[in-house]
A and B are shown apart, each in its own frame.
Chain A
Amino acid sequence: MAMKRMVAIVEDEPAIRDNYAAAFTREGYVVRTYANRSQAMTAFASRLPDLAVIDISLEEEPEGGFELCRQLRALSPELPIIFLTARDSELDAVSGLRLGADDFLTKDLSLAHLIARVNALFRRVDALRRPSEATQIIRRGSLTLDAERMQVEWTGQVVLLSLTEFWIVYALARHPGHVKNRQQLMDAANVVLDDNTITSHVKRIRRKFQVIDPKFDGVQTVYGMGYRWVD
C-alpha cells in the first residue's frame, strides 16, 4: 500500500464535519478538516490534499465553497473536488458555474455512497495514469465510454461529465433502447435525488454533448417513464 491518501473536508458544521472525518478515517484515508475558506486555503498553500470535499456555504460566506473551488483549481487542475450542498436547488446553480468540480452531491447522501464516490474518483485518477484497458470500453456509434477511467468521448472529443453524470450516461448507454426510470438512474448514480434533479442532470448531460455536437439526440425522454439511449 502506498502512502495514505489525504482527503480535505471543508465544512462549517462541526458535527457533520467530524462524522465525515470519522467515516473517511475508517476507510483508511488521512483526513484534514477545515471550518472555513481561509483556514482551508492556508493549509492548501503548504500542502495540497489528494481530494477535497467542500460545502458550498461556509460560515459567513453563503457561496464560499465556489470561491474555494476556484482557488483550489488554480493550484491544481487535476485535483478531484466534490461539492456538498444542503439544498437540491443549488445543484442547478452550480450547473451555470463551470468551476471544474468533479461532482455535486446533496448532504442527504449516505456516508457509504459518499465514500463509494470518493473511491471511484481515486480510481479514476489512478486509471488516468495507466494505459487504457480495451475490455472496459463501450462504443455506441459516436460514443466511446471508458468505464475504468470514467471518461466519455463523443466523436472522439472528451465530454467533461461529473461523476453522477457519467454514471447516468453509463447506465443508459449500456443497454441502448431500454428505458431507465428515474429510480434506476438514481441507483446507478449512487444518489438519492428527486425527479426534478434527475431531470436537470439529464438536461445538463444533453447540453454538454451539444457543446460538441449541436445535433446530439442520444438521450431521449420517455414521458412518465424515464430515459433511454438511442444510437
Chain B
Amino acid sequence: MSIRLKLLLLGLATLVLPWAGCRYAREMETALREGEQSSLLSVAQTIAASLQGRGDLLYRQPAPLQIADDAQTSEEAVVEPDAKPSPYDLRPILLSAQPFLDGYVEEWPQNKGAWRYFARDQHRFGVLTGVFERMLYVMLDVHDDHVVYDSPGASPLDPSTFGDRIWIGFEGQDGHEHQVFVAAMGPGSVTARRIETGEYGQLTAVNETRILGALQPTAQGYRLELRIPLSMLGEHFGVLIDDRNQRGADPVSYGTLRSDDLHTVGRLIAAAPELTGYLKQFSQPGLRIAVAAPEGRLLAQADALSVTNVLGPERGILAQFYRRFVDRPGTRRVIDSSADIYDREHKRVIGSLLVSQTEDRWLVLRDRALTHMLNLTLVISGIAVIATFIFAASLAVRLSRLRAASESALTREGLVTTFPETDASDELGDVARGFSTLLHRLNEYTGYLRTLAGKLAHEIRTPLTIVRSSLENLESEGVSSSARVYLDRARQGSERLNGILVAMGAATRVEEAISNAERMRFDLVPVVKSAADAYRIAFPERAFATETPDEPVEIEGAPDLIVQMLDKLVDNAVDFSPAGAQIVLRVRLEPHAAVVEVDNPGPPLSPDTRDRLFESLWQSRSGDSDNRPHFGLGLYIVRLIAEFHDGKAAATSLPGDTGARFTVHLAR
C-alpha cells in the first residue's frame, strides 16, 4: 500500500466527524427535550398556581366542589348545592369545532361515554352536552314511538294542543330558576319560549331568541340540538321531556328537572367562558393549554398546537437528509406536561392543567444547528481529505524525486552534487541530508580513489628513481657477468614498474591536459581518417574501416584530445575483438551533435556493465594477452574527453549481440 493511499485513508477517517456530529445532535436533542419538558412543567405549574382556588373559573362557582368521578346514576337525588356530586349533573365536553345546528349528531365527537341517559318506564333519552367557546350545545336523542307535534297555529299555552315538549330548566346568573320549553313543531329549526306572567297575571309565551335549535326525527324518535349562551346559565341546569302519546294527553315527564315545579336538581359542571380567555393569554404557537376536571374531562383549552411556528422546520434537501440520520424512529412529535390545580386551602385537587407542545419548536433549533454543524464538518472533512491527498501527493513526489536522485547518484557517471530536498526542514529533509552527506563522502572517496593512482605514482616515483639511478651506477661500476644477469633483471623490473607508474598517472595527466587544452574549430573527418591510417600501421592484425559523411563535420574542440579518445576506444576495440576482425570508425551527423562510433565484433556488453564502463577504475577485462598494465582508465578518459566537448559517451551491443559499439556524442 503506497503512502499516498494510506494518507488518503487517514483523511477519510475524518468522516467520523459528521457521525460524531449526529451523535451529538441526538444528545443535544435529548437534553433539549428534557429542558423543554421541565420548562413546560414549570409553565404548567405556574398557570396551575394562578388557577388555585378559582372554582368560579373552572366550574362557574366559587365554592369548592366535591367532584369525584362518580357518574353512577343514583336514585338519591339529594340536592346539596355545594357538596356531593349528583347523578343529574351534566358535564359538557369540550367541543373542538362548532356544531351545525341541524339536529344531526354527525359533527359531534363520537364519544359514547359522554352521553348521559335518563329513563322512565319504557321511555328514555340521552343527552350530550358540549361547550364551544361561549356557547353550550345540547344534543338530545329522544326515544319516542309516537312523536307528537304541536298543532300548528295553536296557542302555545293551550294545553289541548300540546304535543311533545322539551323543557330546559336552569339557574340564571341572578340565582333565579328559569325555564324555557321547545315544542316539537316538525323537522327543522325550533323556537325556545319562556312563559312570562304579565302585570295582571296573564301568561304569555315569549320567544327566547338567545336559544336556537333544530329538531330532526329519527327511527327511534327524534333528536333535538340546542345552543344556549353560557352567559345565561348559572350553576344548575336540567332537561325534562314531556312525552305525550297524543295532543293534549297527560305527558310522561322525565329528565333532570323536578317534574312538579320544573326546578333543577342537577348542575352543569362546565367552566366559565372566561377560563378560555384566561388560558389564551398564555397561548403561544405550537402550545396547547388545557384545564381538565379531575376525572379527565377537558373544561377549557387554548389550542395553538397546530399553528405554524414562526420558525418552520428546515425544508432543504440537506436538512431532510441529515434528519434521516438523527431522528430515531417513533419519536413523539408532542411533549406533554401537567400540573394539579388545588382549591383555595390547597387540600383538594379541583382540576389539572395540561400543557402540550409540539416538537417543532426545538426541532427547528436542532435542525438548524445540525445542518450547520454537519455542513461544517462535511466541509472540514472534505478539506481534510483534499489536504491530506495534496500532502500525500507532494510527499510521493518528493519521495520519488529523492529515490530518483539516490538511484542516479550511484549508477550514472558523476555523483549528484545537488541532492534534492536537502533544504526541507522535516524528516524527509533529514533523510535527504543524510543521503547527501553519504553521497558527499562517497564522492570524496571516489575522488580519492580516482586520484589515488596518480598520487601513488608520484610517491613511488622518487624511490623508483633511487633504484634506477643506483642500478645505473652499479652497471658503471663494472660488475661480473654473473652479477650482470641480476642487474639486468632488476633493471627490467624497474622499467616495468615505471611503465605501471606511467599508466597509473594517465588519468591525472589527461585531466591536466584537458584543463590546459585550447579549443579550435576543426573538421572531424580528416582527423578520424588520419587516425585510422595510424591504427592500420599500429594494429596490423585488425582491419580498420571508416564511414564518414561527404561534408565536413566541424566541431569546436581539441583534435589532439579527440585522437587520444579514439586511441582509447580503438585500444578497447582491439582488446575485445579477435584477430582479423574489422573495426569500424564512423562519423555521423546529428542535428546538434557530431557522433563518433567505434564498432568491434566480439562479445556483447552485458546491460549491467554498460553503465559502469565509463567510470574510473572499472574494468571487465578477464585476462590480458599483453603485459601492459590496465587500470580501467581508458574509457574513463574517453568520458572525460567527451565531456570536455559537451558530449557524452555510451556503449551498446551491436544488433544481434555480435559485438560492441561505443558511441560518443560531441556538441557541434
Contacts and interface: CB of A to CB of B under 8 A. Distances in A.
A190 to B, nearest CB: 15
A223 B469 CA distance: 35
Nearest to A86: B461
Interface string B535-564: 101000000000000000000000110111
Given A86-B461, A108-B498, A222 B513 contact: no
Contact of B567 (A15, A23, A224): A224
Given A23-B472, A196-B513, A225 B534 contact: yes
A77 to B, nearest CB: 29
Given A107-B461, A199-B513, A221 B505 contact: no
Nearest to B463: A15
B512 A89 contact: yes
A19 B535 contact: no
A89 B502 CA distance: 12
A112 B472 CA distance: 8
A4 interface: no
Nearest to A202: B560
Contacts of B458: 86-87
Given A108-B464, A224-B563, A89 B509 contact: yes
Interface in B381-413: none
B476 A26 contact: yes
Q: How large is the interface on A (under 10, 10 to 19, 20 to 34, 35 or more residues)?
A: 20 to 34
Interface in B583-617: none
Contacts of B563: 223-224
Interface of A: 13, 15-16, 19-20, 22-23, 26, 86-89, 92, 107-108, 110-112, 192, 194-196, 199-200, 221-225
A82 to B, nearest CB: 15
Given A199-B513, A224-B563, A110 B534 contact: no
Nearest to A225: B534
A225 B530 contact: yes
A26 B473 CA distance: 9
A112 to B, nearest CB: 7
A23 B532 CA distance: 44
Q: How large is the interface on B (under 10, 10 to 19, 20 to 34, 35 or more residues)?
A: 35 or more
The 3 A-B residue pairs with the shortest CB-CB distance, nearest first, are: A224-B534, A224-B531, A19-B469
A112 B567 CA distance: 32
A223 B527 contact: yes
Contacts of B473: 19, 22-23, 26, 111
A112 B473 CA distance: 10
A194 B502 contact: yes
B461 A15 contact: no
Contact of A110 (B472, B506, B513, B537): B472
A223 B470 contact: no
Contacts of B527: 223
B469 A111 contact: yes
B559 A221 contact: yes
A223 B509 contact: no
Contacts of B498: 108, 192
Contact of A196 (B470, B472, B510): B510
A20 B476 CA distance: 12
B560 A225 contact: no
B533 interface: yes
Interface in B457-491: 458, 461-462, 464-466, 468-470, 472-473, 476
